[in-house]
Amino acid sequence: MIAKLLRAGTIALVCLLFAAGGVHARDRKSADISADGLPPQALHTLELIRRNGPFPFDRDGIEFGNREHALPRMPRGYYREYTVKTPGVRGRGANRIVCGGEQSSARECYYSDDHYRTFRRIR
């Protein structure tokens, strides 16, 4: 009986910690990163954004929905996403830049190296 309660308590604790971790990740403010701190591939992607392409992937420039609210809330269609090539990875990989506002302005951009789980604002 005690073992069963301990096991149930452990499961409840794990669920609580998992849920708390999810809330923390969603509520966490984006850290900043300077352009100098970005990998060269991200700098290349920023330059493509400023020039309005041509982009290497069909999905570059599509609307980013911000469904997890990881970025500041803005009207639908405000954010667009772009692929940052990952050396040694075929396809799109996990690295992205998401920019808000006019496509060619690249004024408010965020970098994610973990497929949108975390973002750092590019300064």
Q: What's the confidence (pLDDT) of residue 48? A: 95
Average pLDDT, the chain: 80
Q: What's the confidence (pLDDT) of residue 27? A: 41
Share of the chain above pLDDT 90, in %: 66
Measure the CA angle with vertex 71, ends 37 and 69; round to 5°.
145
Delimit the domains of the chain by residue range.
Answer: 31-122
Domain 31-122 CATH class label: alpha beta
Positions marked active-site? 81, 115
Under the phi-then-psi rule, with left for phi > 0, alpha for psi from -120 to 50, and beta for the rest, what region is 61?
left
pLDDT in tens, 23-45: 334 444 458 999 999 999 999 99
pLDDT in tens, 47-75: 999 999 999 999 999 999 999 899 999 99
